[in-house]
């Protein structure tokens, strides 16, 4: 089977030839350097470089500015994704995810900040051999919301040329790339206003917050429809961190009242068009699980550090939703390769039979994960991933 067939069969709760592998993100610059034989670039300098004119007219600075985009933010997505997916192919990843937007009103603020379309302020940091950004606060207020959100282009004209370039450069017989939104309805609202303002307004300014959520629902629906209309993709990814390790950021009552109806409508629209929705959230999402299962076809990562037992989740919900996960990040960093290998075998033995299971880490493969431990996870997975699953005592 090629990855697309393997993924679709899994999402349909059937057993494919092999368990598919997916990661939310793989940040392994040393491994990339070894496998791709290319020197890892200083991404901060790379960002600064993209402020200059590029030779490709469809993505040059003037064109992007005319469309309402910041070339310093958008341009690295195109070139960076090529190398990311080359690495994913080397690691036998079946499904890659590309952030599809929104990018209009997404701005670079010198020297080291980026403000998203949703008002999230990110700080850029250069690590040893890698580059990352960290959320540092919200830029939206009730007073400036209308002005800022109105700058987002609801048609997102950059989606089609961006994603076309990605799929043209990623062979479908090696990896299947799906589009995604990496900051969903809840996270984009909370982070856009900042946690203090959000916490106050979600209680005292409900009508205003309903309008904010409705704005995002319409925007997300437009983006997903555009992807469905222009690309024959079988799935769409939505990342939306809803919880701490101790439980949801807001009560289930508030989430179900304010956010869940929008997700239900988005889900209905996507499923009507034959597209599966894949969902990611950190933390303990179990108090919200019934609504999430109603909306999504697969959920990641059932975080072990949030005291979630993924094998019990498979038993209880495996017939309703596909399970993705969950080799703990802490285990990959701190435990011995033998323990990691045993845990991978446990996941395959308990979660893979019957289909509906994707192997993955418990969040993402961060730079702090030693190569030899990540490879222990992968080598064990590669050895035992074929159906029927054959793992005895370990």
Verify cis geometry, omega within 30 degrees of 0, for the bond prior to 102. yes
> Within a domain: residue 220?
yes
Structure tokens given for 145? 């919301």
Contact 183, 223 (CB under 8 A): no
Angle at 287 between CA 212 and CA 324, to 5 degrees: 90
357 inside domain: no
Domain count, the chain: 1
Q: Tell whether 130 is covered by a domain.
A: no
Q: Secondary structure of 158-182 in the HEC alphabet?
A: CHHHHHHHHHHCCCCCCCEEEEEEC
Is it the case that residue 82 has pLDDT exceeding 80?
no
pLDDT mean across residues, the chain: 89
Per-residue pLDDT band for 169 (boundaries 50, 70, 90) equals confident
pLDDT at residue 130, as a whole number: 59
Kind of pairing between the strands at 322-324 and 357-358: parallel
Q: Is residue 43 part of a domain?
A: yes
Q: What is the pLDDT of residue 165?
A: 85
CB 302 within 8 A of CB 323: yes
13 vs 329: CA distance, rounded Å: 26
Global confidence as pTM: 0.91
Q: pLDDT (tens digit, 9 = 90+) per residue, 192-245? A: 999 999 999 999 999 999 999 999 999 999 999 999 999 989 999 999 999 999
Pair 100, 190: CB distance under 8 Å: no
Q: pLDDT (tens digit, 9 = 90+) per residue, 7-27?
A: 999 999 999 999 999 999 998
Taking Cα atoms as reference points, which of 344, 343, 340, 353 lies closest to residue 389?
A: 353
Kindly report the CATH number assigned to the domain that includes residue 259.
3.20.20.210
Domain-located, residue 329: no
User: Is the pLDDT assigned to residue 394 strictly greater than 80?
Assistant: no
Q: Is residue 37 part of a domain?
A: yes
Q: According to DSSP H, which parts of 234-304 are helical? A: 252-258, 260-272, 289-295
pLDDT tens digits, one per residue of 94-139: 999 999 888 878 888 888 898 999 999 999 887 665 567 889 999 9
Domain extent at residue 273: 25-107+139-300
CA dist 317 and 153 (Å) reads 39
Q: How confident is the model at residue 89 (pLDDT cuts 50, 70, 90)?
A: very high
> Could you tell me if residue 253 is inside a domain?
yes
383 lies in a domain? no
% helix / strand / coil in the chain, to the nearest 5? 50, 15, 35
């Amino acid at each position: 089977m090629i990855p697309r067939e393997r993924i679709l069969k899994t999402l349909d709760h059937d057993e494919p030839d092999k368990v598919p592998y997916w990661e939310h993100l793989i940040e392994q610059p040393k491994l990339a350097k070894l496998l791709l034989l290319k020197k890892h670039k200083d991404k901060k300098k790379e960002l600064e470089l993209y402020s200059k004119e590029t030779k490709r007219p469809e993505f040059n600075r003037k064109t992007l500015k005319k469309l309402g985009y910041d070339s310093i933010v958008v341009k690295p997505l195109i070139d960076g994704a090529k190398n990311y997916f080359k690495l994913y192919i080397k690691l036998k990843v079946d499904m890659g995810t590309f952030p599809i937007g929104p990018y209009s009103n997404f701005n670079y603020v010198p020297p080291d900040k980026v403000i998203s379309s949703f008002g999230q302020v990110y700080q850029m940091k250069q690590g040893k051999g890698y580059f990352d950004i960290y959320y540092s606060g919200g830029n939206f207020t009730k007073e400036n919301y209308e002005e800022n959100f109105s700058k987002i282009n609801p048609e997102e004209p950059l989606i089609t040329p961006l994603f076309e370039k990605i799929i043209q450069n990623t062979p479908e017989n090696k990896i299947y790339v799906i589009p995604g939104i990496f900051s969903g309805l809840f996270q984009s609202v909370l982070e856009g206003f900042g946690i203090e303002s959000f916490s106050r307004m979600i209680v005292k300014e409900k009508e205003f917050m309903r309008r904010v959520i409705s704005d995002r629902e319409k925007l997300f629906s437009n983006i997903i429809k555009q992807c469905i209309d222009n690309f024959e993709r079988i799935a769409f990814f939505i990342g939306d961190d809803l919880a701490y390790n101790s439980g949801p950021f807001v009560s289930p009552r508030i989430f179900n009242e304010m956010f869940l109806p929008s997700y239900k409508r988005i889900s209905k629209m996507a499923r009507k068009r034959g597209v599966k929705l894949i969902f990611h959230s950190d933390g303990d999402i179990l108090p919200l699980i019934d609504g999430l299962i109603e909306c999504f076809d697969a959920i990641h990562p059932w975080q072990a550090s949030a005291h979630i037992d993924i094998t019990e989740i498979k038993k209880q919900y495996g017939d309703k939703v596909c399970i993705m996960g969950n080799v703990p990040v802490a285990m990959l960093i701190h435990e011995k390769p033998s323990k990691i290998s045993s845990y991978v075998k446990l996941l395959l033995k308990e979660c893979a039979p019957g289909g509906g299971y994707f192997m993955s880490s418990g969040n993402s493969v961060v730079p702090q994960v030693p190569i030899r431990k990540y490879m222990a996870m992968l080598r064990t997975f590669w050895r035992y991933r074929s159906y029927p699953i054959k793992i005895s005592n370990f």
